[in-house]
Amino acid sequence: MIPSSQLAALRTARHLVVFTGAGVSAESGIPTFRDSLTGLWQRFDAASLATLEAYQQHPALVWGWYEWRRMHVLQAQPNAAHQAIAELARHVPRLTLVTQNVDDLHERAGSEDVIHLHGSLHHPRCVVCGREPSKPLPPPDEPAEGRRLEPPKCEYCDGRLRPGVVWFGESMPAGALDEAFAAARHCDVLISVGTSGVVYPAAEMPERAWRAGATIIHVNPQPSVTHDEREYALSGPAGLVLPRLLQEAFGS
């Protein structure tokens, strides 16, 4: 049973923020960024491939790795947590969904206007002029692990396309971060799901909401809280906990 205090906070919320991390996507079979690489990729360190310097030195290697990741995302399906979040939007006056994930599983589950703090695998941009292609890229042609693929050329300036994600050493999109922090300051309830809380500045979301007076609910297999009031922990996989929270709060 979900504690009544958390259910009451959710039922009366005028503005709910849901803040998701890699744990939500992991339940759809997408490895988290901190998981060890497997197969032919295991000789690489993921962090060493996720930099502008790596792309500039080895563009075909980095593009091939990200296309391999995009292929796995396209093969994955939204799970019960993604679906519960989309359903929550139908029960509260306002829901803002902020994610650190670079996949599109929230959108495929039915969520709209998702704020992507770390960019998206599905929105590459030119490394020279910064513009996105006018049409979505086709699905990857089953790129094998370890395969190098030359990045496509920009249709506007003939530069190379790069993955549309935030790499180490790069800032998050200013507009997305500002919008996320504004939502945290003005929400009644923030549900933090599947996030380790160690990647800053995104990890400031729950604390900023708490300082503004919101109720915080952490959903994780091993959640932790730092405050004695208005902050709660629900232990378990997001795909089990969020549907139960939805059912007990709204009967859905």
Active-site positions?
A: 118
What gap in Å lies between CA 215 and CA 137, rounded to an integer? 41
What gap in Å lies between CA 151 and CA 126, rounded to an integer? 10
What is the maximum span of the chain, computed from C-alpha positions, in angstroms? 58
Strands 95-99 and 16-20: parallel
